[in-house]
Structure 1
Amino acid sequence: MDRTDSRDTGDERPGEIVSPLRRTFEVGFWVAVTLVNGVANSITVLIDIRRSGLAFAAWEPAVWEFSSGLAFLALVPALLWFTRRFPLHWDTLRRHLPWHLLASVVFSSAHVLAMVAMRELAYAGMGTSYEFGDWSRGLLYEYLKDVRTYVTMVATIEGYRFVRRRLKGEARLLDAPDDVETPPGKIERPERFLVRKLGREFLVAATDIEWLQAAGNYVNLHVRGREYPLRSTIGGIEARLDPARFVRIHRSYMVNLDRVASIEPLDTGDARVLMADGSRLPCSRRYREVLRERVAGGRT
């Protein structure tokens, strides 16, 4: 998918080129989980009904289970966005956990409303009606079940992102030598970044970074077709990089001036920046003139 906007199926950000294979895997995973759970739970519930001699039609367990599963599936994009905004890592757990507790209530409420609506439509199509029962008790009962599903889904998403970061390699700033002190008022500018990938470590020169992209609590460093997440904000790393070489072009993007191929003005007043590696990045109007002056006049 060669474009700068992406539909969220995993942990991709706007501007990230997502391969069709990866997209198929991510979408297919959630669809497969929904189908397998729906089929397995429908059969199990139907067996229990037959053993208990309850007066339910054979199609009803399928409606119950698949309405619930499809409601969860519809909530995946929102959950992906929310976990990017409030990721659960050891250093963010205390700060973000209250937001997740609140989100679990919203998650369960949305699940129940969508589930009941689908059941009512299915029952109406079969010439009968569906009754959810007492809403106050029903919502509490469903929440006690849904909170476990919420925890499982969040853990799955965070686990997948953790594995992807390890496979791609995660960058960090090199610690300054103990015997070297930075003079007061002077900012220490990193010349190299340490990247850990699959148990190996190697160095990436700051000058090799082509462009940077904010991604929640991370900034993705794009280097020779590869992407290394760095635990930082875009503003934090901007203050550390050499302003003679790197320039901000968007609230979520910075570029290496040496790697800018061209700037394409847009009718909206914004611009599109074509990088030497073929990437097309957005440039906000507030940064457009500064970028043009820096590219035209050279680094200052």
Structure 2
Amino acid sequence: MSIAPTTAPSDAAGLAWLRRWHRAIEIGFWIGLTAVNGIANSVTVLMDIRRVGLDFADWEPAVWEWSSGIVILLLIPGVAWLTRRFPLHWGVLRRHLGWLLLGSVAFSLLHVVGMVALRELAYAMQGGNYDFGHWPSELVYEYLKDVRGYIMIVSVMESYRFIVRRLQGEASLLGPPDEGEPVESLDRPERFLVRKLGREFLIAANDIEWLQASGNYVNLRVRGHDYPLRSTIAGIEARLDPERFVRVHRSYIVNLGGVASIEPLDSGDARIHLRDGAAVPCSRTYRDALRARVGVA
């Protein structure tokens, strides 16, 4: 196991760029994919119609394809939330798979209803009428198509998150040694293992400046870098030194040694300014206990 600086300068610049632009990249990817599919499918369907001589107007294939693509694009944030709430990891796969399958049913129903509504609107604007067909049989048919697209979307999201975690480094608790007694307490770890691009590093627990819950992960902030740890915020709180770490929010824990100041807010909450320049929220539930811990009257 090597012990070295956890992030090279070029890696740090790349991760900073990714953190800054990740939202634009994600939105741009899905919009671009929808546009490419909409254009390509509209053209190929129109070519097929002309080839066999079917009686459809040239605008109809575009309405079919774009009504579907637009609704799917609007459903992407919901799928993203669902996969963050119920991620596909081996340890929780069986427990989360049922929720993801239910999500596929909701995805297909919303897709069909929205798609048909847009088509009916488009046809009405052209002075025509759109006939979806026999709803029960068409819903089954559409679901069999939608579930493949849903699986693709979930796979892309999980793959993207996996790559990002590997780039920034993923933290884990040290396990027991193969032989002999552990050199430090496993219940109250003094160090965490970080895996990054095939390498392994150790970070000291006391070097963690603050922690933030993020779905089924907790991000450990160490010297400006976030390392996701697969845990709940309550689970990791129970294993940290209570003399050094304190809960300040349902989603945040701070290292008391890194607190620079506490800014009261009119709402009764507070904002904690840390020595690394970050600011994290402190809810009123935890505010008085924090002020007492840091010696502020």
Q: What's the TM-score once normalised by structure 2's chain length?
A: 0.89
One-letter amino acid matched to 1:74: L
Instruction: Find the aligned partners of 1:230 and 1:19 in 2 and give their Cα distance.
Output: 18
One-letter amino acid matched to 1:179: G
Structure 1 or 2: more helix by fraction:
2
Partner of 1:222: 221
Going from structure 1 to structure 2, the CA distance change for 1:182 and 1:24 (only over 3 Å counts) comes to closer
Partner of 2:284: 285
Partner of 1:160: 160
Instruction: Find the aligned partners of 2:61 and 2:204 in 1 and give their Cα distance.
Output: 59
- The alignment covers a number of residue pairs equal to 281
Instruction: Find the aligned partners of 2:183 and 2:201 in 1 and give their Cα distance.
Output: 25
Instruction: Find the aligned partners of 1:265 and 1:138 in 2 and give their Cα distance.
Output: 58
Partner of 2:244: 245
Partner of 1:180: 181
Is residue 265 from structure 1 mapped to residue 264 from structure 2 by the alignment? yes
| Aligned-residue RMSD, C-alpha | 2.1
Partner of 1:146: 146
One-letter amino acid matched to 1:275: L
Going from structure 1 to structure 2, the CA distance change for 1:187 and 1:33 (only over 3 Å counts) comes to closer
1:14-63 CA-to-partner distances (Å, cap 9, x unmatched) read xx997442222111100010000001111111111111111111111011
Deviation at 1:278, TM superposition (A): 2.3
One-letter amino acid matched to 2:132: F
Deviation at 1:180, TM superposition (A): 2.6
3-state SS of 1:30 partner:
helix
One-letter amino acid matched to 1:188: D
Is residue 213 from structure 1 mapped to residue 212 from structure 2 by the alignment? yes
Partner of 1:235: 234
Instruction: Find the aligned partners of 1:234 and 1:158 in 2 and give their Cα distance.
Output: 21
Using the TM superposition, name which of 172-181 and 41-50 deviates more.
Answer: 172-181
Partner of 1:133: 133
Going from structure 1 to structure 2, the CA distance change for 1:175 and 1:90 (only over 3 Å counts) comes to closer
Instruction: Find the aligned partners of 1:297 and 1:270 in 2 and give their Cα distance.
Output: 15
Is residue 80 from structure 1 mapped to residue 80 from structure 2 by the alignment? yes
3-state SS of 1:92 partner:
helix
Instruction: Find the aligned partners of 1:117 and 1:21 in 2 and give their Cα distance.
Output: 34
**Structure 1 gap segments, 5+ residues each:** 1-15
Whether the 8 Å contact between 1:182 and 1:188 is mirrored in structure 2 is no
Instruction: Find the aligned partners of 1:100 and 1:23 in 2 and give their Cα distance.
Output: 23
1:47-126 correspondence runs (5 A):
47-126=47-126
One-letter amino acid matched to 2:47: I
Deviation at 1:175, TM superposition (A): 2.5
